[in-house]
Amino acid sequence: MSLRQWSGAAPAKVNLRLVVFGREASGYHRIATVFQLLELADRLELEAGEGDGVELELTGVQRGALGPPEENLAVRAARAFNGALSARGRRPLGVRIALRKNVPHGAGLGGGSSDAAAVLRGMSRLSGHPLSGVELMRIGATLGSDVPFFVSRASRALGTGRGERILPLEPLPTREVVLALPAERVSTPWAYGRLARARAGAERSAREYTPRPPSGCWSGVAADAVNDFEAVLFPLRPDLAEIRGALAAAGARPALLSGTGSALFGIFGSEAEASAAERDLAGVRAVHQLIRTRTRDPAHG
């Protein structure tokens, strides 16, 4: 009997390091980043149906908050998967997607990209694994630069190119994480545009940057932590700078902006330290939302 239902998690991520280089002919910037999965995750349930239709049931967010259903990355991933099946002469798979959103959207935590990756994995399972992992990652790269990382299932990885070239890294011991978000989100295109204006032709060349191998310990991660967007965005968004400063003052190592934001995160060595940081951050005017989570244990899959 063929499998008709699949359920799984779509975990969030943070960027432990994010260096941005010049713009490619495609219009995308080259980057070097270190991704880290979190336990915070959306939940998906997929049910195979007749025909090739794709339906989405979305909960956990206000209706319309994520735009039209056809633009949702989970729906686009399902259609891209079916396109790959059709190209192989295989019958497309109708699917109903029930998506429960727990990861804040538009926060630099990769929620939509992770949803897309989960749909690709789930549809692969429902259809008997007709596509290889490499093919799934290629499909993912057409949907978003972060999607291949989530498809890879690595808990920590180096991303290069546009972020889609993935090198899995040795997992680090689980750590407590506090996520702090301001009320106002940050648009990724706007952030890249501000970065390009700030550099005004003096963009960092990939040839001038020889990356150190990513650290294999948390103290090394903290020493290497950098996000090129902070220098550009913090003068324009003092609320982001205030939150990062509060995380650092609470003992986070590192405290950093994730992606282009708006989420900032702090890594803590113990539950007691993270709990104390939560209490401190709750009194910070710029903080609109606090989320407590952990780095994802690879043993949990």
Q: What is the pLDDT of residue 300?
A: 46
CA 79 to chain centre: 21
25-82 pLDDT, tens digit each: 777 789 999 999 999 999 999 999 887 899 999 999 887 777 888 899 999 999 999 9
Q: What is the pLDDT of residue 242?
A: 98
The DSSP line for 160-181 is ETTTTEEEE-PPPPP-EEEEEE
Question: What predicted TM-score, i.e. pTM, was given to this entire model?
Answer: 0.93
**Could you tell me which residues come within 8 angstroms of residue 129 by beta carbon, excluding any fewer than 6 positions away?**
none
Sort strands 29-49 and 94-100 into parallel, antiparallel or unpaired. antiparallel
Inform me whether the pLDDT recorded for 207 exceeds 50. Answer: no
Band of pLDDT at residue 202, cut at 50, 70 and 90: low
Segment (H or E) for 195 = helix 188-199
Catalytic positions, written as ranges: 13, 146
The CA distance from 56 to 35, in Å, is: 28
Is the torsion defined by CA of 231, 193, 160, 80 positive or negative?
positive
Mean pLDDT, rounded, for 224-252: 97
* CB atoms closer than 10 angstroms to residue 51: 9
Band of pLDDT at residue 231, cut at 50, 70 and 90: very high
Q: What is the pLDDT of residue 274?
A: 98
